[in-house]
Amino acid sequence: MKIVITGPNGYIAKNLILSFKSKKNIILLSHKKSSFYKKYKVLKFDLRKGIIPKIECDILIHIAGITPQKRYPPENFKKINFLGIKSIIKKIHIRKKLIFLSTIDVYKNQNNSKPVKESFKIDYSKLTNYAKSKYKSENFLRSLNKKKYPFQKFILRLPGIVGKNNHPNFISDLIERIIYKKKFVYFGKDNYFNNIYHIDTLVKLINSLIKKKIKTNFLIINVGTKKPLKLSKIIKFLRGKMNSKVNYNFKNDLFTINVTRLNKYYKNNLNTKIVIRKYFTEKLKNKK
């Protein structure tokens, strides 16, 4: 089975690639060279310049793209994230499955009073440029002709991914501030939180989707932890672990993800408390 992965230099991709036992049938598409991939086949790939190799594969895992962590011009999100996936579909022949990494940012600013399901009606006008590019990409994949593009399309709407050496996100910033006793302002204390996922579990989820037989042509899955916790309890737990008296205030609202569908297709989904404890332990080890 031939697997193609775009954007292999990112945090998620590197951890995913290391999880594969065999390097033989893995092809990486990258815009830059890395010593990390000496034993892999790497092809030139640059969405900014429209460089996409014409190849065939059984599984395509599309991770490449730009995120809101850097201040890109609005048109870049459209060009690289949305138009990028359109160009990929034209150039790369996929025989079995496409796994596309999207974002739970499509639920932001939507006035969510209940845990949001995949079927939640999204107000496009309220989305950020990043979320718009991902949401449009999802809809493009949904609209593909099933006869012309019969491969399965799996969309993973990802929350903040935590783990060793992860990129900054909501929960990692919260933990950093508690560890280093920095004052912070965060979301409503009575809101529940499960917008987090550990990199180890995400890698297992993606591997499960690669191998598992699922009878559907298109599927969106919210990714998040089971058993949401009140944010005030999370902070109390973290402060207790560090014996920290750092001051904090709350503002705005937080939404919770409905992960019923995820739990249906992936039985090993961890709960929020376990993930936060695991990540907190990892952060303390790094601090030492």
The per-residue pLDDT for range 233-281, each reduced to its tens digit, is: 888 887 777 666 655 555 555 789 999 999 999 988 889 999 998 988 8
pLDDT score at 188: 59
Burial class, 188, CB count within 10 angstroms (exposed 0-12 / middle 13-18 / buried 19+): middle
Percent of the chain with pLDDT over 70: 92
| Lowest mean pLDDT across 118-122, 160-164, 195-199, 248-252 | 248-252
pLDDT score at 134: 98
Amino acid type, 48: R
Q: Is the pLDDT of residue 103 over 70?
A: yes
Q: Tell me the average pLDDT of the chain.
A: 89
pLDDT score at 124: 95
Bridge partners of residue 163, in order along the sequence: none
pLDDT score at 288: 58
Ordered domains of the chain (ranges, CATH):
3-161+198-222 (3.40.50.720), 162-195+225-287 (3.90.25)
For residues 174 and 268, what is the distance between their CA atoms, to the nearest angstrom? 26
Q: How confident is the model at residue 199 (pLDDT cuts 50, 70, 90)?
A: very high
| Lowest mean pLDDT across 54-58, 68-72, 138-142 | 68-72
